[in-house]
Amino acid sequence: MQWPKELWAAENPDNAPRGEHVFSEFATVPQWEGDEREYHRYVDADVHESAERYFKHQVRGIRDALNEIADGSSFQSRVDPWMQACFGPEISADIVERNHRFLEEALELVQAKGCTASEAHQLVDYVFGREIGDPHQEVGGVMVTLAALCTSADLNMDRAAEDELQRVWTKVDAIRAKQAAKPKHSPLPE
């Protein structure tokens, strides 16, 4: 179901003809000098009937997404079959290899958004000069800061993840060949 773009609305003063509403996408700013009306968000012009339907539709969408997660179709659970197809169980479960590949991708992202090698080296020294963290908490920190970076960079992290998973499924043979040719126990991918 397609819903109208959100509108902002304000009631005209009591002495306005017909007591009509003023609708504007740009109504967060005064429309004229002395315009002191307070605007509120409308879902569409027929707000009393459509707002309830709109929010029920939104809640249904959230419930569907939560059900997908509960059914085991989370993004993480959908990455595992690709891992097994590319690398098999041994390399898929190799924490050292997974650490190196995650760090490589994280560095490529921050490099793409303007981080310098010098800044990255300073952060490596800072992190490794501190006490080792709790993996569960650190995963949470990674997810929160990735979401924050994506928000500030106007990137949709969910769409990017889905696009990348779809892309790497088309490259299983090339990834296997690269993995077979790389030096064993080296953090470098080539």
Cα–Cα distance, 101 to 188 (Å, whole number): 9
Angstrom CA distances, 155 to 1, 77, 138, stand at 25, 23, 22
* Each residue's pLDDT tens digit, 14-27: 555 554 455 544 44
Q: What pLDDT score was predicted for residue 9?
A: 55
Contact 174, 86 (CB under 8 A): no
Which residue has better confidence, 10 or 137? 137
Domain ranges for the chain: 7-70, 75-181
pLDDT tens readout for residues 89-139 = 998 999 999 999 999 999 999 999 999 999 999 999 999 999 999 999 999
Rounded to the nearest 10 degrees, the angle between the axes of helix 172-181 and helix 157-169 is: 80
188 closest CA partner among 125, 119, 102, 101: 101
DSSP character at residue 22: E
